Amino acid sequence: MTPVITIKTPFTTEAAEKLRIGQRVLLNGKIYTGRDAAHKKLVELLENGEELPIELKDQIIYYVGPSPAKPDNVIGSAGPTTSGRMDIYAPKLMAQGLKGMIGKGKRTPEVIKAMKQTKAVYFAAVGGAAALISKRIKSCKIVAYPELGPEAIRELEVEDFPVIVVNDSLGGDLYEEGLKIYGAK
């Protein structure tokens, strides 16, 4: 198995360019959360020429809608949601400097192309390992759209948050590679 790479946010172009598909990464530092409802609002602001509630340059967005936190817990269960629903919005955010996305499932060719152009990376977290993943989240605060409930934008502080590089800045795709290796010939 490939060695694990540790990355501290902010996630710069330089760090993103070094990553390759299949690499296991432990993320540390601040990341944001957002699902389709929040993405829609962000893109509407951009289209109207308005300022975003969060700065996207060198940031990572985790596609997640956590379950409510129990008393004494930082956050509820927090596994990735299907990334494809964010595909129509993602290139517009990458154009603003967004460097990383965490989710699960396939991205469209347009998103993969935008990643290549802007030197961004798409990571997968283990879908459904939500109780396990939440242990790596050390703090959580809502920074925009509280009215969206589980879909609000949160700022998370993560420690050794485990992800795998699925699409790198060269246009590589781990899902395609996996099929080539393990699919019946």
Partner 1 sequence: MCQEANYILGQDVIDAFKNAYETEQSVTGKDILQQLIENAQIAKNESVPMCQDTGFSVFFIEMGQDVHIEGGSLEDAINDGVRKGYQEGYLRKSIVGHPLERQNTGDNTPAVIHIRVVPGDKLKITIAPKGGGSENMSAIKMLKPAQGVEGVKDFVVETVKEAGPNPCPPIIVGVGIGGTFEKAALLAKEALLRPVGEPSSDSYAADLEQELLELVNKLGIGPQGLGGKTTALAVHVNTHPAHIASLPVAVNINCHASRHKEIEF
Residue 138 in contact with partner 1, rule: CB under 8 A:
no
Residue 10 in contact with partner 1, rule: CB under 8 A:
no
Report the residue from 18, 92, 126, 145 that binds partner 1 according to the rule CB under 8 A: 126
Q: Select 51 or 72, whichever has its Cβ closest to partner 1.
A: 72
Residue 136 in contact with partner 1, rule: CB under 8 A:
no
Report the residue from 27, 98, 121, 174 that binds partner 1 according to the rule CB under 8 A: 174
Residue 172 in contact with partner 1, rule: CB under 8 A:
no
DSSP characters over 17-40: HH--TT-EEEEEEEEEE--HHHHH
The dihedrals phi and psi of 3, each to the nearest 5 degrees, come to: -65, 155
Q: Select 68 or 117, whichever has its Cβ closest to partner 1.
A: 68
Report the residue from 53, 109, 149, 171 that binds partner 1 according to the rule CB under 8 A: 149
Counting residues that bind partner 1 (by CB under 8 A) gives 45
List the Cα angle 27/31/10 in 5-degree steps: 70
Q: How far is the CB of 51 from partner 1 (least distance, A)?
A: 25
Q: Select 73 or 139, whichever has its Cβ closest to partner 1.
A: 73
| CA distances for 157 relative to 32, 58, 62, 114, 134, angstroms | 9, 15, 12, 27, 11
As a whole number of angstroms, the distance between CA 5 and CA 27 comes to 9
Q: Is the peptide bond before 68 cis (omega within 30 degrees of 0)?
A: no
Binding site for partner 1 (CB under 8 A): 1, 22, 37, 64-70, 73, 76-79, 81-82, 84, 104-106, 124, 126-132, 134-135, 149-150, 164, 166, 174-175, 177-184
